[in-house]
Amino acid sequence: MRHAIHNRRFIVMTGHALLLACLLCSLLAMPVQANPDEPADQVSIVSNSVRAVGYRIGDHVQQRLQIATPKGYQLDKASLPLGDSGAPVELQAVESHAVESKNTDQAEHSLHTLVLDWQLFRAMREVRPLPLQALTLEFRRGDAVLHVPVPAARIVVSPLLPTTLEREYVQPRADVAAQAIATGPLWQRFLVAALVLLLTLLYFAWRYDVLHLRRPQAPLRLAWRQLRRMPATQDEAAAMLPLRRALDQVAGTAISSERLDTLFQRCAWLLPLRAEITLFYVASDRVYFAAQASPLPRAALVQLARKLAMLESA
């Protein structure tokens, strides 16, 4: 009798367990929906693509999702596991945009395109598959929420080093031989550039009398040289004397303030500096004949001598 009762209880409990399992399977098989008012066929994963092979530690994995939802729903990025999670593959960034369907039969749908940027943080010793994280995306429209489970995609990860180190991988490889280049044209350009530079330096040295290459019959240039060599303590009369002698030599006669017209008639090329030359003679006459201080500073005197030398060599 007791044995029959125990068998009956066992049969009843087994029936309840089977009924509960069937109910659970039916719930899991139900499509994702926000609430009973939303049709089940309005939410679907259109595509879930990812390149499956060719990854190593540190590489980024691009996963592209396309999910169709009823119109007006927006992705809640808080449902994504962004940031440091300690998993072998972590989600670093996500880009998403939604486009309303233009088909007549799907006018009330939106197509969400998501690009998930994963990064691999686990090194493998051999080639093996590795799953990405499974996701449960949330789409919101007001108080309504859609939960969309996305299964974990799988990728194949390779090690940085070969599984077995053969002798050819252990030995250092030979250096790559340097490719010979034609240096002839480069040397020609260098010599031409050096020659042009040398000629330019020589010209400026001649033009500004740096190397004293001017002919001796250039009295104004010689006067400029003497003024540059004079010490700063030289008295004014001695400082003005070389320039006055040079102008006398250029004019071919002794020049004073009263005879400046003769200087400019014989040396018309000095007319651009007529005002400065006249001021110089007035100042030198005050120094020589009136024993007065010169109104021209030494720097102005040297500048006038340089300008006269430039006109002389023009």
**Do residues 77 and 121 lie in contact, with contact meaning Cβ atoms separated by under 8 Å?**
no
Q: Return d(Cα 253, Cα 251) in angstroms, integer.
A: 5
Give me the pLDDT at residue 31, please. 43
Helix (H) or strand (E) holding 52: none
Give me the pLDDT at residue 5, please. 45
pTM for the model:
0.41
CATH topology of domain 40-157: Immunoglobulin-like (2.60.40)
Give me the pLDDT at residue 198, please. 94
| pLDDT tens series, the chain, 314 aa | 444 444 555 554 555 555 555 455 454 444 444 444 444 457 888 888 899 888 888 899 999 999 988 888 888 888 888 888 788 889 888 888 888 766 545 557 888 999 999 998 888 778 888 898 889 999 998 888 889 999 988 988 888 776 666 676 677 778 888 888 889 999 999 999 999 999 999 888 776 666 655 555 688 888 888 888 888 777 888 888 888 889 888 888 888 888 888 888 988 898 999 999 999 988 888 888 877 777 788 888 889 988 988 888 76
Closest CA to 148 of 249, 76, 242, 244: 76
Provide CB contacts within 8 A for 302, sequence distance 6+. 224, 227, 228
Q: Which residue matches tokens 């006249």?
A: 278
Give me the pLDDT at residue 256, please. 84
Structure tokens given for 152: 């974990």
All CATH 2.60.40 domain ranges in the chain, comma separated: 40-157
Give me the pLDDT at residue 294, please. 76
Q: Could you give the 3-state DSSP secondary structure of residue 195? A: helix
Provide CB contacts within 8 A for 138, sequence distance 6+. 75, 76, 78, 79, 145, 146, 147, 148
